[in-house]
Amino acid sequence: MQIDSIARFDLNLKRYIITAVDLYSRFSFAYTYKSLSSKMALDFYQKLEKVAPFEIKAVKTDNGLEFERYFDSYLKENNISHFFSYPRTPKSNAFVERFNRTIQEEFVDRNIDCIEDAETFNSKLVDYLIYFNSIRPHRSLDNLTPMGFLVFKGILSKMSVTHT
């Protein structure tokens, strides 16, 4: 699982979107925060654990301060491997970097009018993520969705997808 953060400066305010992508299935998750810290990254990760349709065993992040302290301690306490990319090498986190671009083009830029209200923005973001993971085909998955790919590979049953 690759995890990263995006800083957006719009309408004279800052918003931070933390993003995650599973390299195998392309299952993706994101959440918007008013500030960025290790506590926010931990909050994001705990949300991710609740919605991910599989157990997360390893995480790769850049060297941002948000991925240290509380975030890193939680991963260690739960025996989740934490790998860091080399400084100034975004290509080593290529999957999440590509998702960052996609989410900005397909969602953030089209919903910029509600970014000021983080709760409303996150509510719309959840709808987008359901679309992204369950409806939108992905070329890298032979035009399956991430959830469809997990069903195809036998990792999820069809029933778990319909009741998610």
Q: Give pLDDT tens digits for 123-137.
A: 999 999 999 999 999
Q: What is the pTM of this model?
A: 0.91
| Sheet with strand 2-10: strands edge to edge | 28-33, 13-21, 2-10, 58-61, 81-84
Secondary structure (3-state) at 48: helix
pLDDT at position 157, please? Answer: 63
Domain at 2-162: CATH architecture:
2-Layer Sandwich (3.30)
Of the candidates 115, 109, 145, the one whose C-alpha atom is nearest the C-alpha of residue 28 is 145
CA distance 123 to 1: 23
Predicted local confidence at residue 89, as pLDDT: 83
- Could you tell me which of 25, 28, 14 has the C-alpha nearest to residue 4? 28
Q: Where are the domains of the chain?
A: 2-162
Q: Which residue has 């939108």 as its token pair?
A: 136
pLDDT < 70 stretches in the chain: 11, 157-164
Looking at residue 123, its pLDDT comes to: 98
Phi, psi values for residue 53, rounded to 5°: -80, 20
Check residue 10 and give its pLDDT: 76
Q: How far apart are CA 7 and CA 72, in angstroms?
A: 21
User: How many Cα atoms occupy the beta-carbon half-sphere of 156 within 13 Å?
Assistant: 22
| Per-residue confidence (pLDDT) for residue 163, from 0 to 100 | 47
